[in-house]
Amino acid sequence: MSAPYLPYGRQVIEADDLAAVAEALQADFLTTGPRVAAFEHAFARAVGARHAIACANGTAALHLAIMALGLKPGEVCIVPAITFLATANCVRYQGGEVIFADVDPKTGLMTPESLGRAIDKAEGKRLRAVLPVHFAGNPAPLPTLRALAEAAGAVVVEDACHGLGTGMDFGSGPERIGDCRHSAMATFSFHPVKTIACGEGGMVTTEDPVLAERLARLRSHGMVRDPECFTNTSLGRDADGTANPWYYEMAELGYNYRLPDILCALGLSQLSKLDRFCQRRRALAEIYRTQMAALAPWVQLIAPPPGSDPALHLMVALIDFAGLGTSRAKLMQTLSRQGIGTQVHYVPVHHQPYYRDRYGHTDLPGADQFYSQCLSLPLFASMTDRDPVRVVRALADGLGLAA
Ligand SMILES: *Cc1c(COP(=O)(O)O)cnc(C)c1O
């Protein structure tokens, strides 16, 4: 029997997940039902935030966050160059402009220095938000990033799509990604490769009740049904002042970014396993680290920042392809033939033709160096203890490093 194919990431769906979805499908509400609020409450509790707003996907979560800030055309947001497209695109959806920050070539994370340089580039423009990404699940240095952002008149919005389950201590006690202690909002994705899966799904967390209300409104067309919020009293109320039961009002432009009850059922069921999934990811990461030690200095795993306890989303190795005289494409093909899927996270966003056409060439050497060496290896909760051993062996073979 040949070994099973190992993708770089995948969902883990179990019998109780299926049962939860089947139950939701047979209930009265397929779209906005009781499981939406239940998922939001459970998620808020899981990450330690006051509010959580479920939405269609991680991209919608970012777009809602940027809309909730009231970003206006021409205003600027800072985004690290090593991230998924959506972190930058959400700014453009609102007509905002993106300044790309460099990253630490050893971690892929935005640093205080790289943020400082990006802030300098924003001089003369209105800077509204900084969007650090907890790349691979390692926490960005939020307190320092926030201090710099605030000094420049901006807020922090965390793209926490990789960070669910990560804990850290920045020196003032234990924190969790998504608790928004240093940010206005944090956004999550439940795409199948992420730590928990809905198929498509997203969440925004915040401590601010005003932002929470606005996020919920923007998620559903900008509509309100609460008579207290009506501004048009002649349409909204009867002659005697009673609110009209059919009436709803739209004060600002929103979208249909709702997450249906069916998917919230899956999200709730998956969330109940978050601790187990994260423990498994941590255990697998440990095996990778032990096995990989023999391949130093040619291959190195990105290191968790001091004081962090990441639940890694990606197992990213940095490989000295130039020094080894081989290419990443060749290695990926060799591994693929042995049933090992790998991926590159990410093509630096500032090199995308859309952004290059808009902003010209941006020189970000940290991102370029990171990009030239990174390769994401299989990591998901249903891998066995033997799987990382097999991956590292194949990697050593493929690189000509086998003992
Ligand atoms: C997955 C991801 C997104 C987008 O999430 P979707 O649910 O696919 O829309 C955004 N940012 C980062 C960093 C991601 O990993």
Write the CB contacts of 40 (distance below 8 Å, at least 6 apart in sequence). Answer: 51, 52, 53, 54, 203
Q: Are residues 41 and 186 in the same domain?
A: yes
Check if the beta carbon of residue 298 is closer than 8 Å to that of residue 127: no
Q: Are residues 239 and 281 in the same domain?
A: no
pLDDT digits (tens, 9 = 90+) for 289-347: 999 999 999 999 999 999 999 999 999 999 999 999 999 999 999 999 999 999 999 99
Would residue 4 count as lying in a domain?
A: no
Dihedral angle, C-alpha 191, 196, 199, 205, nearest 10 °: -70
Task: For residue 377, give the CATH number of its domain.
Answer: 3.90.1150.10
Test site for ligand 1: of 185, 189, 200, 344, most ligand atoms within 8 A of the Cβ: 189
Q: How far is C-alpha 360 from the geometric centre of its chain's CA atoms? A: 27
Domain count across the chain: 2
Which atom of ligand 1 is least distant from the CA of 60?
A: 9
Would residue 10 count as lying in a domain?
A: no
- Return the bridge partners of 51, or none: 206
Q: Are residues 267 and 278 in the same domain?
A: no
Lowest mean pLDDT among 176-185, 225-234, 308-317: 225-234
Q: Are residues 257 and 282 in the same domain?
A: no
List residues with catalytic annotation.
Answer: 194
Q: Are residues 152 and 280 in the same domain?
A: no
DSSP 220: B
Of 236, 271, 306, which one is at a domain's C-terminal end?
271
Check if the beta carbon of residue 176 is closer than 8 Å to that of residue 167: yes
Burial group, residue 234, by CB count within 10 angstroms (0-12, 13-18, 19+): exposed
Q: Are residues 63 and 168 in the same domain?
A: yes
Of 250, 271, 292, which one is at a domain's C-terminal end?
271
Q: Which amino acid is at 138?
A: N
What is the value of pTM for the model shown?
A: 0.97
Test site for ligand 1: of 8, 59, 263, most ligand atoms within 8 A of the Cβ: 59
Of 211, 236, 271, which one is at a domain's C-terminal end?
271
Would residue 346 count as lying in a domain?
A: yes
Domain with 219, as residue range(s), is: 15-271
Check if the beta carbon of residue 86 is closer than 8 Å to that of residue 80: no
Helix/strand/coil for 15: helix
pLDDT digits (tens, 9 = 90+) for 66-119: 999 999 999 999 999 999 999 999 999 999 999 999 999 999 999 999 999 999
